[in-house]
Structure 1
Amino acid sequence: MDFPVTFQIFGKTVLAHPVFETVGIFIGMRYYFYLKRKSKEKLSFNTSAAILIGATAGALIGSKIIGNLENPYTLFENFNFKRFWTNNTIVGGLAFGLMGVEWAKKIVGHRESTGDLIVFPLILAMIIGRIGCFLTGIHEETYGITTNFIFGMHLGDEYLRHPVALYEITFLIVLCIILKTLQKKNIYPSGFVFQLFMLSYFSFRFMLDFIKPKTEIVGNLGTIQITCLCIIFYYFLKLRKINSLTSPENITS
């Protein structure tokens, strides 16, 4: 296979990444609305609209902020709006999307968790997007460092590199199976599946970024890893609280 894979759209050559990312978002949203129609939990229009706006605005802003802070020296020394707008990362989108939803829920006074419904559409969209990352090779910063590991691949230059996009796709498929299994047991409170997804994914990304090129910010950690640690800590505390509430001694008391 030759990297990068490109498409001819309206006479212009477009990399696979933005194409698959757009398709992933579209299919993921259609899947979400399908699940929402089937769901027994119905939200008011105001609550649904507030959550959607909060999630979208937070994800859009966060993906670009964290994406550009991956290399803050380039951002501040030579600011370029086009580069700022095209730099994105799913880590920032998820982290700030979460903040946007929580902020929106406080405004409308909705206290219950609303995240479980979005988990599987989100995983599907991420898998499709990562296919685009893989097909783009080294032409966007979504590739791995050089390696002699058995899974090393040529991604557009003369070096064998970790195919981190394929690692992530594999992880997401396994995680999806585990979460589906837990969801079917129907013994956990609302929001547990989403919280476990966030904790699992951010833990995975923290480890994965050790084999991706990055600008070191604190020690040998990059911006994405620092963001991951913040979210891991946040959800670790939330899951501990859920575990204490669902423990046998509390259930029977």
Structure 2
Amino acid sequence: AVFWIEQPVLWAEHGGWAGFLRGGQSLVGGLLGGLIGVEIAKKLAGVRQSSGDVFVFPILLGIVIGRVGCFLAGLHDDTYGLPTALPWGVDFGDGIRRHPTQLYEITFAGLLWAALRRLQARCAAEPGLLFKLLLSSYLVWRLAVDGLKPVAYAYPFGLSGIQWVCLVALGLYLPLVVRQWKRLP
């Protein structure tokens, strides 16, 4: 659904609801949709304990592997950044040096991995907190890094659909993170 928020013109071009059901490409949507789906399934199954912490490092590894693929895909992937004169700008085949936002995200995922590893033992006292830190950190990251990407459809304040989804999700999710963080010994 986040993909359709990001590029609403494609809604009509891809057949409305039928196209919606085929889906799009959005890691933010995958993470948020996965979270919602897991929480609904746990509720229906009567599972009360947190399950997300065991997935933190596999998710980060998946982000790294996925962004390597995005980088190698070049312009066809739509994950590249805006034009830049910075020396590390990358020409993805169109003669324009762009921010390699995929490489920025790989670096971010590595740094987040290290930070969460350091916090892992402390967060064990609050099951689910490590996952909440991963998700909230990633949403903040995407809110920031997507400012370096072309905006296919600008929403209010020039933000992209993904940035708005990140803002809304953070508004709903950060209070949970803060409340759980405050309970740490």
TM-score using structure 2 length: 0.90
Number of the residue aligned with 2:157: 219
1:93 is aligned to 2:41: no
Structure 1: 5+ residue stretches without partners: 1-64, 248-253
**Residue of structure 2 in register with 1:164 after alignment:** 101
Shift of 1:188: 3.5
Aligned pairs for 1:157-236 within 5 A: 157-185=94-122, 188-214=125-151, 215-236=153-174
Shift of 1:196: 0.3
Q: Does 1:143 align with 2:80?
A: yes
Q: Is the 8 A contact 1:123 1:172 kept in 2?
A: yes
Give the match for residue 42 of structure 2. 105
Amino acid paired to 1:140 = D
Q: Is the 8 A contact 2:91 2:97 kept in 1?
A: yes
Range moving further from structure 2, 128-137 or 212-221: 212-221
Alpha-carbon separation, structure 1, partners of 2:181 and 2:76: 44
Alignment match, 2:14: 79
How many correspondences in the alignment? Answer: 182
Task: Name the CA distance, whole Å, in 2 between partners of 1:132 and 1:246.
Answer: 38
8 A contact 1:68–1:84 mirrored in 2? no
TM-score by length of 1: 0.67
Unpaired runs of 5+ residues, structure 2, are none
- Percent of paired sites with the same residue: 37
1:236 alignment partner AA: L
The residue number in structure 2 matching 1:70 is: 6
8 Å Cα contact 2:126/2:183 also seen in 1: no
2:72 partner amino acid: L
State the partner residue of 1:121.
Answer: 58
Q: Describe the superposition over 1:138-170 as per-residue Cα deviations: whole angstroms up to 9, x where unpaired.
A: 122111111112321111111110000000000
- Two-structure CA RMSD over aligned residues (Å): 1.9
SS at match of 1:105: helix
CA apart distance, 1:246: 3.0
Deviations 1:81-131 (A, max 9, x none): 679736311110001111111111111122221100011111111111100
Distance in 1, Cα, partners of 2:167 & 2:158? 13
Output the amino acid matched with 2:126.
P
SS in 2 for 1:87: coil
Q: Determine if contact 2:57/2:113 at 8 Å carries over to the other structure.
A: yes
Aligned residues of 2:11 and 2:19 also touching (Cα < 8 A): no
CA distance in 1, matches of 2:73, 2:19: 19
